[in-house]
């Protein structure tokens, strides 16, 4: 695939069409191809039109997403807006230095609780993740925090269901 991309750039195109550019590549090669695509887009001002089923390619490369199903344009927007519309909850996992008492924060639901760890679902329509972290850090000695969002694959599946594809 790298040779094909290089060959397609010989005539310095303004638009580059790539179909599944990382399919069949190992992890190191995928990262190299993605970095190369980002570089030619930024430095050479080449517009890249990418068709892919690899959601990691979408997250790494796309600012704008056009979703087509059954020959119809279903969605045309940017990735951030798409995530903001379809991601209403995030999972916050907090690791503590010592055991903790029961914590009840409005807008959250406890998913898992142990002496040193707490995982909660945060309803973004009710409270910000940063507010939850602030409330927890006022009460407890936090060692580490991770925030996980809904995977783009799930969002795309929901879109296909919504559009009955």
Q: What is the pLDDT of residue 120?
A: 95
Q: Does 2 score more than 70 pLDDT?
A: no
Domain segments of the chain: what residues?
A: 2-62, 88-149
Q: What is the pLDDT of residue 1?
A: 62
Under CATH, to which class is 88-149 assigned? alpha beta
Contacts of 94 (CB under 8 A, 6+ apart): 117, 118, 119, 120, 133, 136, 140, 142, 144, 145
Average pLDDT over residues 152-163: 85
User: What residues pair up with 95 in beta bridges, in sequence order?
Assistant: 117, 144
Q: Please give the CATH superfamily to which domain 2-62 belongs.
A: P-loop containing nucleotide triphosphate hydrolases (3.40.50.300)
Average pLDDT over residues 99-126: 89
- Lowest mean pLDDT: which of 19-28, 36-45, 55-64, 100-109? 100-109
- Lowest mean pLDDT: which of 26-30, 56-60, 82-86, 99-103? 99-103
Evaluate whether 153 touches 57 at the Cβ level (below 8 Å).
Answer: no
Q: Does 37 score more than 90 pLDDT?
A: yes
pTM for this prediction: 0.70
């Amino acid at each position: 695939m790298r040779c094909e991309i290089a060959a397609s750039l010989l005539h310095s195109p303004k638009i580059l069409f790539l179909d599944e550019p990382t399919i069949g590549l190992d992890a190191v090669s995928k990262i190299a191809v993605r970095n190369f695509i980002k570089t030619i887009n930024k430095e050479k001002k080449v517009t890249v039109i990418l068709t892919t089923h690899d959601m990691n390619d979408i997250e790494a490369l796309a600012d704008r997403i056009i979703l087509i199903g059954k020959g119809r344009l279903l969605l045309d927007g940017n990735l951030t807006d798409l995530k903001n519309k379809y991601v209403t909850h995030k999972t916050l996992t907090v690791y503590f230095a010592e055991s903790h008492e029961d914590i009840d924060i409005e807008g959250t639901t406890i998913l898992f609780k142990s002496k040193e760890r707490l995982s909660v679902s945060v309803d973004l329509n009710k409270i910000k993740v940063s507010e939850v972290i602030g409330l927890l850090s006022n009460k407890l000695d936090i060692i580490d925090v991770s925030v996980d969002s809904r995977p783009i694959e799930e969002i795309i599946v929901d879109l296909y269901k919504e559009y009955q594809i």
